[in-house]
Every structure is written in structure tokens, then in C-alpha cells.
């Protein structure tokens, strides 16, 4: 018996539901490697939602709505230091049926500050801003709505070490 066409509907069969589309939330200090992780792991498959690109919260919200409405996988490439700041992306993604995955992109503060100081003048974050994000930073937790949480650190050879966050002690 074929389950295609109207016959399967009359018999009570349903099409399998679509798999959840992925929303990835990157969390980490400026200079931790979030944008590099995006380029290395998600560039070909996910849109990038970033204040560095969009410049205003209104544009960011509009682009996020487009991703949610069109079911486009996306990565939020911002510092996202607190649960409240992450909730601006997690809550609407969950409401739209996305699977929400978090990545803590972590480096030592000194390394992040060094990378930041090596940036072009327009891309450099004032040191006070970097310290403020470090001071406010709270590690993401499953209770925030994440289906998966990962800990990502760059390796000396330019790659990534990615492992479940629950098994990784804080670096700082």
C-alpha cells in the first residue's frame, strides 16, 4: 500500500514533522573567537545575526524575525553575557519551534584583551567595555532553554576544541 496522495490522509496517517531548525547562540568576551567559530563552523549553513553587522537593535530584531518566519538557521554572534540578554534570542526561537544550541566561546581575559587591542581602530572595543562584559558574564545554563550547550576553545593549530559544556570547568 502506498502512503502518498490523499489515501494516507483518509487513513489517519500524518507526514513526519519537520526537524527543528537550529538557532545557535554564541556567548563570550569580545576577542574570544566567536566570529571565527561562526566562519569555521556555520558560514555555509546559518545566517549571522550580529550587532557588528546590523548596528542597531531595531535592525537586529527585524533580521531575527525574518530568520524565524522563514525558518532559516541562524547564529547570534554577540557577547550575550547574561541570561536576560540571551533570552532576547532564545525565547522567540523556542516559540518558533527552533532547537536552541549554545556555545560558550571561552579564552583567558588577557588573550581576549590582546586580540582586541590588535584589531583595527574601528573594530576595537574600549578596554572598559571588555572588562564590563567579563564582570557581568554568566555561563549559559540548560534552564535558559538550550537543547545543547557546548564549550569551544581555539587550539594552537587554528582549529577548535568543542566539548559538552557540562563537563568543562570554567577557565577563569
Answer yes or no: is 128 within a domain. Answer: yes
Answer yes or no: is 31 within a domain. Answer: yes
Q: Which domain holds residue 44?
A: 19-167
At 1, the pLDDT band (50, 70, 90 cuts) reads: very low
Answer yes or no: is 25 within a domain. Answer: yes
What average pLDDT does this structure show over 61-79?
97
Answer yes or no: is 46 within a domain. Answer: yes
Answer yes or no: is 172 within a domain. Answer: no
Answer yes or no: is 99 within a domain. Answer: yes
pTM as predicted: 0.82
pLDDT digits (tens, 9 = 90+) for 29-57: 888 889 999 999 999 999 999 998 998 99
pLDDT digits (tens, 9 = 90+) for 97-121: 999 999 999 887 777 677 777 777 7
Answer yes or no: is 47 within a domain. Answer: yes
Q: CB burial class (10 A; 0-12, 13-18, 19+) of residue 156? A: exposed
Answer yes or no: is 12 within a domain. Answer: no
Number of domains in the chain: 1
Q: What is the CATH number of the domain that holds 112?
A: 3.40.50.300
Amino acid at each position: 500500500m502506498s502512503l502518498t496522495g490523499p489515501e494516507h490522509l483518509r487513513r489517519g496517517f500524518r507526514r513526519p514533522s519537520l526537524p527543528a531548525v537550529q538557532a545557535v547562540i554564541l556567548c563570550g568576551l569580545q576577542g574570544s573567537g566567536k566570529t571565527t567559530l561562526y566562519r569555521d563552523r556555520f558560514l555555509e549553513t546559518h545566517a549571522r545575526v550580529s550587532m557588528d553587522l546590523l548596528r542597531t537593535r531595531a535592525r537586529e530584531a527585524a533580521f531575527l524575525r525574518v530568520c524565524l518566519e522563514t525558518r532559516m538557521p541562524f547564529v547570534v554572534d554577540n557577547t550575550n553575557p547574561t541570561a536576560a540578554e540571551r533570552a532576547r534570542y532564545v525565547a522567540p526561537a523556542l516559540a518558533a519551534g527552533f532547537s536552541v544550541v549554545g556555545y560558550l566561546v571561552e579564552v583567558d581575559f588577557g588573550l581576549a584583551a590582546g586580540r582586541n587591542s590588535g584589531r583595527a581602530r574601528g573594530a576595537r572595543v574600549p578596554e572598559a567595555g571588555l572588562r564590563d562584559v567579563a564582570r557581568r558574564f554568566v555561563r549559559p545554563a540548560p534552564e535558559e532553554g538550550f537543547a545543547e550547550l557546548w564549550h569551544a576553545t581555539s587550539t594552537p593549530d587554528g582549529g577548535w576544541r568543542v566539548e559538552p559544556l557540562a563537563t568543562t570547568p570554567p577557565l577563569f
